[in-house]
Amino acid sequence: MKTLSRMAIALAGGLLITTTGCEFPPIDTVQLGFRGVGMEHVANPRTVQDSVDAVLAREPFVPGPPDEFGDPAPPGTWENVQVLGHLSEAEFNRFKLAMTTWVAAATGEGCNYCHVIEDSGEVNFASDAKYQKVVSRSMISMTQTANVEYAAHVGEAGVNCWTCHQGQVQPVNRWYFGDRPDPPSAGSMIERPQWERHYLDRDDARLINQTALSRNREENVSLQDTEYTYWLMIQMSEHLGVNCTYCHTSARFSDWDESPPQRVHAMRGLDMVRTMNMEYIVPLTDELPEHRLGPEGDGAKINCATCHAGAWKPQYGLPATHGIDWPALMQIGVSHPTGNGAADAGEELSGAP
């Protein structure tokens, strides 16, 4: 009897261990493709609802409707406004107030997080002395680029600062070189895992040969390159809260004709991430103070999780994340004329937004 009891206890313990990583039913499954071939999206409705509730709880309070029909502010209204010169004065103020909620809410500093307070107590809005203002100008320009040049990915609704920042100075989901252990299978590699470069300067993610046992050297791919791409795909899957068949056909991952349309959407998104990092974020490294740098001296960079945060659509499409209600972000910005003809003549104003 004692032996049977011990066996029962051991079996019960083993069952607990093996089910630790499992989720209780029911689990929702949505068919994405042909029947019977595993083309489906699997989700736990309870964890999804918890995530949606958390998003709704964070929804920001921002100023009222946009000044859609306001003409650009008269020349000389502001000094050193480089990427918001297309706005009316009312819309400019509305957008700036929203930015304090989107980005600086956690600081409690409001406008002063980016702008200089002189010894007299007055705020010097034109000064670029604070790195935060220089960074914010570049981020505004980056968001404008995302909404205009990558509309095929972000959609007609577009995005705004809240989409990524959600009231924080830096988005929660960001990455640096050297800020976490190498992937487990890459323990023997000396260099940093190169899969991170797919978010920077690599676009060669296609690895599956189209012929078996090919002798064509141009088709040969190293195990390391294959590993990098698999880690990229696994990470993208986690960042969007989906599995492989959300973008790939289950029978032939490399076949574009049979793949769901989400695959093209994801490809455009990856291209957008590279552009954002290489043209807007990495160039800001020299502007950042030491406490904003990673272990290897690089600034924070973005990946899919920066916007998506585990959801197939950022914040499940919450309107508060949309850019369409913010004229500041729905076109490429221009300099505000100074009134002396400098901006009209195409000269760049010194400084920031």
pLDDT of residue 250: 84
**Which H, E and C letters describe the chain, residue by residue?**
CHHHHHHHHHHHHHHHHHHCCCCCCCCEEEECCCCCCCCEEEECHHHHHHHHHHHHHCCCCCCCCCCCCCCCCCCCCCCCCCCCCCCCHHHHHHHHHHHHHHCCHHHCCHHHHCCEECCCCCEECCCCCCHHHHHHHHHHHHHHHHHHHCHHHHCCCCCCHHHHHCCCCCCCCCECCCCCCCCHHHCCCCCCCHHHHHHCCCCCCCCCCCCCCCCCHHHCCCHHHHHHHHHHHHHHHHHHCCCHHHCCCCCCCCCCCCCCCHHHHHHHHHHHHHHHHHHHHHHHHHHCCHHHECCCCCECECCHHHHHCCCCCHHHHCHHHCCCCCHHHCCCCCCCCCCCCCCCCCCCCCCCC
pLDDT of residue 351: 39
pLDDT of residue 348: 35
What dotted CATH number matches 174-306?
1.10.468.10
In the structure, what pLDDT confidence band is assigned to residue 3 with cuts at 50, 70 and 90?
low
Average pLDDT, the chain: 83
In the structure, what pLDDT confidence band is assigned to residue 172 with cuts at 50, 70 and 90?
very high
Fold (CATH) for 39-172+309-353: Photosynthetic Reaction Center, subunit C; domain 2 (1.10.468)
- pLDDT per residue as tens digits for the range 15-66: 555 544 577 778 888 888 777 788 888 888 888 888 889 989 988 888 888 8
Looking at the chain, which residues constitute the CATH 1.10.468.10 domain(s)?
39-172+309-353, 174-306
- pLDDT per residue as tens digits for the range 279-310: 999 999 999 999 999 988 999 999 999 999 99
Mean pLDDT in residue range 109-122: 91
pLDDT of residue 104: 92
Percentage of the chain beyond pLDDT 90 is 49
- pLDDT per residue as tens digits for the range 204-260: 677 676 666 666 666 666 777 777 888 888 889 999 999 888 988 888 888 888 888
